Amino acid sequence: MVDQEEYLISYANLKSELFKFQKNFLDKKDLKRFYNYPYFGMPQCLPAGIKYFNYSKANYFKINKKIFSKKIFNTTNLSYVGNKKFFRYGTLFAYNVTLKKKYKNRLNFYLKNISATRKIILNLKKKYKKICSMQIRNAPHYGHEAIFNFILCRFDLLVLNPIFGIKKKNDFSDKFITKALKFMEKKYKKIKFLPFWTNFYYGGPREALHHLAMREKLGFKNFYIGRDHSGAENIYNPKASSDYAKKFSKKFKIKPITSGGGYYCFKCKNYVIKDLCGHKNLLNISGTKFRSCLTRKNIYFHADLDLQKLLI
């Protein structure tokens, strides 16, 4: 199955020391430690029977779905997309495995990606004094652009640093996101598009901290955390991720940057950051509606027309 490559990506990320609080696929004891510390991020666990690995010396353990769901995704809904993704190969997991030799070249592709990304960031830091990175998994609308401008007023460079990897159904493809963000790179003089390969978990606030930690390990000093960061199916409070970032900020060297999000202000007749203009009559711009318009090849009023023509 194509999506089994997620575990090869995780393995490469572990070997690249991309995760702040884990170096190998977790065993049962280490997973229990993750349960108690949200800032540890998303646990890297390997299901039994993934084709890329040799299990001849593996140790196995089972994960209780209900406990995992409550501790990691903070929900009792076992049908949540994060749970379905994590347990799609069952509840039996393994550690102490080795990579099959025939997949070494594929592994090297992901190792080189992380290495190259770090080098680019290092070079950018020599040129720009203040840099902020930002995760984005959707085509940007004007609400996003309000956030871009909010960041660019405070930093010399904004690095749009999306995750490339195995995604859930209906997520924008990596190719689609590349088109959209390269457009933004051209539109703004101080935006840099720089993707890297890792995985999505739809873990909401916990995954926001996971993303924060990864950007620290890549070499960034600042990372923007948005509304409902890494959430899905509307199960998380939109402010939960930014609240988590503030609560656990001392656990990281990197600084989380937050805002009230991008809205349209009917009084200002412009796209603004919530609470900064002081007005109350604001429109929350819908990313879901924008996605629907792009899918149906309809024009969305609250997004760049030239971007939409390019994507449609």
302: nearest Cα among 310, 311, 293? 293
User: Under CATH, domain 2-105 is a member of which superfamily?
Assistant: Sulfate adenylyltransferase (3.10.400.10)
Tell me where in the chain the CATH 3.40.50.620 domain(s) lie: 128-311
In this structure, whether the domain defined by 128-311 belongs to CATH 3.40.50.620 is answered with yes
Q: Angle, to 10 degrees, between the axis of helix 240-247 and the axis of helix 204-218?
A: 50
What's the CA dihedral at 292, 158, 235, 139 to 10 degrees?
10
Which pTM was predicted? Answer: 0.94
Residues in the chain, pLDDT under 70: 1-2, 168
Q: pLDDT tens across 63-75, in order?
A: 999 999 999 999 9
- Residue 2 is predicted with a pLDDT of 60
Instruction: Give span(s): CATH 3.10.400.10, the chain.
Output: 2-105
pLDDT in tens, 4-44: 999 999 999 999 999 999 999 999 999 999 999 999 999 99
**Number of residues written out for the chain:** 312
Q: Degrees (nearest 5) of the Cα angle 288, 272, 211?
A: 60
